[in-house]
């Protein structure tokens, strides 16, 4: 007797279900991109904490500019780099809400360097998710502050040269120095184990908001296979070999 499909698709056989906090919209991200995974784990944390009706996200300028199409929560779209200021404005008038920004390396570490510094320094009761893939994705692969020395991008066609472009910026370590941050960590999502760790970090960050502890900052070292011009598998390998030595994973501050 053969098993038919309808016999398998049954509630009791269900092993995985997409969280309803993720919408059914098809994501525009390139195959291999880390954004989708990070979106998913944020959505899962929101669902698990039961805070969908109390969460307000602030999306940046960058590839994740359309994040509001994918997470079924209230969103404000911010000007380039200004998400921490927008989140401050929201959080101050809604102190009981879970406010988070979702920012890339260009948005957060370059044009928005001032806003993130001061939001963290004031200890705004918000969560910051920082996607560091060492390149500008949306505008077509230009140099970011976190681009590695020697890394080829559209604006460093001969590789990043410290004399010309300065050094890769370890903003996360800088932010950990500020008294307003309560939790600063660096994670990645390139293996199932790392996804689980990253999710636990994000969960902890949102729990900190619940406890009114100040700013929680979660960097996710990410891949951009399109910008790096490699396959997704090669991108993961390149990240492990080149980015992790410069941007080591783990908690930097947890108080």
Contacts with another protein, residue ranges (CB under 8 A): 51-56, 58, 65-66, 68, 72-79, 82, 85-94, 97-98, 114-115, 117-118
Rounded to the nearest 5°, which phi and psi values hold at 226? Answer: -65, -45
- Closest CB to another protein among 56 and 198? 56
- Closest CB to another protein among 84 and 145? 84
Question: Least distance in Å: CB of 72 to another protein?
Answer: 5
- Closest CB to another protein among 215 and 236? 215
Q: Which of 51, 58, 55 is nearest to 89 (CA)?
A: 58
Question: Least distance in Å: CB of 84 to another protein?
Answer: 8
Question: Least distance in Å: CB of 126 to another protein?
Answer: 10
Q: How far apart are the C-alpha atoms of 48 and 61, rounded to whole Å? A: 28
- Closest CB to another protein among 91 and 208? 91
| Token pair listed for 247 | 């941007």
Question: Least distance in Å: CB of 229 to another protein?
Answer: 24
Question: Least distance in Å: CB of 20 to another protein?
Answer: 11
- Closest CB to another protein among 123 and 232? 123
Question: Least distance in Å: CB of 158 to another protein?
Answer: 33
Q: How far apart are the C-alpha atoms of 10 and 129, rounded to whole Å? A: 36
Question: Least distance in Å: CB of 64 to another protein?
Answer: 12
Query: Looking at the chain, how many residues does it have?
Result: 255
- Closest CB to another protein among 18 and 229? 18
Q: How far apart are the C-alpha atoms of 158 and 123, rounded to whole Å? A: 40
H-state helical runs in the chain: 5-8, 35-49, 83-93, 105, 113-122, 162-165, 171-176, 192-210, 225-228, 232-238, 244-246
- Closest CB to another protein among 39 and 186? 39
Query: Would strands 98-104 and 74-77 be described as parallel, antiparallel, or unpaired?
Result: unpaired
Q: Which residues contact 217 (CB under 8 A, 6 or more apart)?
A: 120, 127, 128, 130, 172, 175, 176, 181, 183, 184, 185, 205
């Amino acid at each position: 007797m053969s098993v038919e499909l309808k016999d398998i698709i049954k509630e009791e056989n269900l092993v995985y279900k997409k969280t309803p906090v993720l919408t059914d919209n098809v994501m525009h991200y390139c195959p291999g991109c880390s954004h989708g995974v990070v979106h998913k784990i944020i959505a899962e944390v929101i669902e698990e904490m039961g805070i969908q009706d109390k969460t307000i996200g602030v999306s940046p300028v960058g590839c994740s500019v359309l994040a509001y199409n994918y997470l079924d929560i209230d969103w404000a779209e911010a000007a380039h780099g200004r998400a921490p200021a927008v989140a401050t404005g929201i959080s101050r008038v809604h102190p009981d809400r879970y406010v988070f920004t979702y920012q890339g390396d260009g948005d957060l570490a370059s044009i928005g360097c001032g806003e993130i510094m001061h939001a963290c320094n004031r200890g705004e009761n918000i969560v910051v998710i920082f996607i560091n893939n060492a390149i500008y994705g949306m505008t077509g692969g230009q140099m970011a502050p976190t681009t590695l020395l020697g890394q080829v991008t559209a604006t460093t066609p001969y590789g990043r040269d410290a004399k010309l472009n300065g050094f890769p910026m370890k903003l996360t370590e800088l932010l950990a120095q500020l008294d307003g941050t309560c939790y600063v960590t660096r994670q990645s999502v390139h293996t199932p184990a790392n996804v689980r760790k990253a999710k636990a970090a994000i969960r902890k960050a949102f729990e900190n908001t619940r406890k009114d502890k100040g700013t929680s900052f979660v960097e996710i070292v990410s891949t951009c296979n399109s910008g790096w011009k490699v396959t997704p598998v090669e991108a993961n390998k390149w990240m492990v070999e080149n980015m992790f030595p410069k941007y080591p994973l783990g908690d930097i501050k947890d108080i």
